[in-house]
Every structure is written in C-alpha cells, then in structure tokens.
Amino acid sequence: MMMSRFHNLARRFRSEEDGNATVEFAVYFTVFFLLLAAGVEIAYMNLRHAMLERGVDLATREIRLSTGHIPTYEEVRGMICEKATILDDCANNLRLEMVQVDPRDFTSAPVDADCQNAVQDPHPVRNFVPGQDNELMLVRACLKYKPMLPTTSLGKKLNKDAEGYAQMVVTSAFVQEPR
C-alpha cells in the first residue's frame, strides 16, 4: 500500500513538465565555471612560463655572444625582464643564479631554487658568477608570481609561500664564447 503510493507519487513527479531548470543550471554552471577557470589559470601560467623561458634564452644568447663585457646580476635581470614583457613586477620578483659547471664532472645546482617575492625582505644573491672563455655555464631563474585565480581548484593546488606567491623556475645552459 505504502509502496504503491510512493510509485504513484514518483510517476506523477516524472511526468510533470512545468517548472524551470534552476537546479540543473546551478550544477552545470558551477562545473563549467570551475573547468573554465582552471583552463584560464593554466593558459596564463603557460604564457608566463613561455615568456620567462624566452627572456632567459635571449639574455643567455646576449651574454654568450658579448665579447669583452662581463654583465652584472642587475644587467642580466634587466635583460630578462625587458624581453619577458608580461611578467608582473619582474625586477622585484625575479632571482637569478649563474654557476660554472664542469661537463666532465657534472654537479647540478641545489634542488631548491633561490626565490624571493617583492614583499619579502631582500636577501643576498646565492650564487652569480659570470663565466670565463669556453666555460659551461648554468643559469637558473626563479620568478615568484601571484596566481590569477588563487581560490579555484588549480590555484589551491599550487605550492605557494606565506604571502600567496607561487614560483616558476627556468634553467638554461650555455658555453661562454671566447673574447
């Protein structure tokens, strides 16, 4: 008896076609918006990374081909920031390391990159030594940036510091041309 009432109520509920799709819209819109937001965040991260790689590659090319001039840390950072145009507050959020490595006895740079955001107190550069003729040089750039949508699923998964900055690291190697 009770089951037949339930079946009748369920059949009547399924057969009714009046009303609106508020619940479906709310569910589908939320899922669609989260996917769209994650896609936008990934696209902007890729754009930042590509521009940082481009800046580092162009700066290392300039260093490699410059004869007679040994660039300073500030000059190299300025070259990278000039070439990578879309990076937010690049001069304050970009840290560089440049070390000479022996190709026959390769030891990599420390695993953790030297990073700093604009809000933190400045600390000295860890290791920046311009190379001599025919030396293999390793350059590592670390950029701290604020995620565009930090509260979305992807923005929450990024490894961020206390101020909410995520980091992006680019490494490049080149051989110093003879002067």
In a domain, 60, yes or no: yes
Q: Which domain does 153 fall in, by range? A: 21-175
Report how many domains make up the chain. 1
CB atoms within 10 A of CB 76: 22
**CA–CA gap between residue 22 and residue 28 (Å, rounded):** 10
Which residues are 29's β-sheet partners?
A: none
In a domain, 11, yes or no: no
- The predicted model gives 63-86 an average pLDDT of 86
**Pick from 64, 74, 77, 80: nearest CA to 137:** 64
In a domain, 159, yes or no: yes
In a domain, 12, yes or no: no
In a domain, 167, yes or no: yes
Does the pLDDT value for residue 4 go beyond 70?
yes
In a domain, 1, yes or no: no
Task: Answer for the pair 95, 116: CB distance below 8 angstroms, yes or no.
Answer: yes
- The string of pLDDT tens digits covering residues 151-177 is 777 777 888 888 888 899 999 988 887
156: helix, strand or coil:
helix
pLDDT score at 11: 82
% the chain with pLDDT above 70: 91
- The string of pLDDT tens digits covering residues 78-87 is 999 999 988 8
Maximum mean pLDDT: which of 71-75, 116-120, 175-179: 71-75
pTM score of the predicted model: 0.77
- The predicted model gives 127-142 an average pLDDT of 84
In a domain, 70, yes or no: yes
**CA–CA gap between residue 171 and residue 123 (Å, rounded):** 21
- The predicted model gives 113-128 an average pLDDT of 73
Task: Answer for the pair 76, 96: CB distance below 8 angstroms, yes or no.
Answer: yes
- The string of pLDDT tens digits covering residues 8-41 is 887 877 776 666 667 778 888 988 988 888 888 8
